[in-house]
């Protein structure tokens, strides 16, 4: 079992905490290259081809291997991911008696504690929110265990999987939008215009939340 870090935005952190998000999609880097219409790209296992993270991602033309790629950077089933999110470091006594404020005490310091931007509904009291990329391991409050990993094209997402991504079925101009449509809007809000239309290959990481 290995442990790696993964970053989530505040809305996705809230969805994980609520139990609404159990999947994440991340762009495969570098993207597989289609050499020609008779070429393939995927995972080669023995004499067959299937999207499995347990073997290297390969490019091939016929039986000729063109280029191997690394395994899934997020891990394999059974591995763990600790979540980085927007946070702040405050004196551990600052919110110790405040209802609704979750904090994590720094184990090697009697002064510091971490608090979290996701779900914060009060003034910041003069402290500074820090980007998720700077979160140290001790401050993480969410630990995930990978249940499954696969590779697919972004637009192949099913309604059930879009819901598991934390997307909400919502209305637009009075019409009900499907979960997949809602997820496409969410994807573009994070990855920019035309990122959905690009339909990249993505790692699909399914996970369950466990106790840190």
SS3 content of the chain, % helix, strand, coil (to 5): 15, 35, 50
127-159: burial string, b at 16+ Cβ within 10 Å, e else: eeebebeebeeebbbbebebeebebbebeebee
Q: Which residue has the tokens 């079925």?
A: 169
CA distance 138 to 120: 20
**Model confidence at 33: pLDDT above 70:** no
CA distance 91 to 204: 38
Residue 177's pLDDT band (cuts 50, 70, 90): low
pLDDT digits (tens, 9 = 90+) for 124-166: 778 899 999 999 999 999 999 999 988 888 999 998 999 999 9
pTM of the entire predicted model: 0.81
pLDDT digits (tens, 9 = 90+) for 81-135: 999 999 999 999 988 888 888 999 999 988 999 999 998 988 777 889 999 999 9
Q: Which residue has the tokens 């391991």?
A: 137
């Amino acid at each position: 079992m290995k442990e790696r870090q993964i970053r989530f935005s505040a809305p996705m952190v809230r969805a994980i905490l609520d139990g609404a998000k159990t999947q994440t999609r991340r762009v495969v880097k570098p993207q597989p290259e289609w050499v020609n219409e008779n070429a393939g790209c995927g995972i080669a296992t023995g004499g067959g081809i299937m999207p499995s993270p347990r073997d290297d991602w390969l490019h091939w033309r016929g039986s000729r291997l063109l280029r191997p790629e690394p395994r899934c950077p997020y891990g394999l089933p059974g591995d763990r991911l600790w979540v980085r999110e927007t946070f702040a470091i405050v004196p551990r006594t600052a919110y110790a008696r405040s209802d609704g404020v979750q904090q994590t005490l720094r184990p090697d310091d009697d002064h510091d504690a971490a608090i979290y931007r996701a779900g914060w509904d009060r003034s910041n009291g003069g402290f500074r929110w820090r980007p998720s990329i700077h979160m140290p391991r001790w401050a993480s409050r969410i630990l995930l265990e990978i249940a499954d990993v696969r590779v697919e094209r972004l637009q192949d997402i099913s309604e059930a999987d879009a819901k598991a991504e934390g997307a909400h079925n919502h209305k637009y101009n009075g019409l009900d939008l499907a979960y997949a449509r809602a997820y496409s809007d969410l994807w573009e809000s994070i990855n920019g215009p035309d990122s959905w239309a690009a339909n990249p290959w993505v790692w699909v990481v399914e996970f369950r939340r466990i106790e840190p």
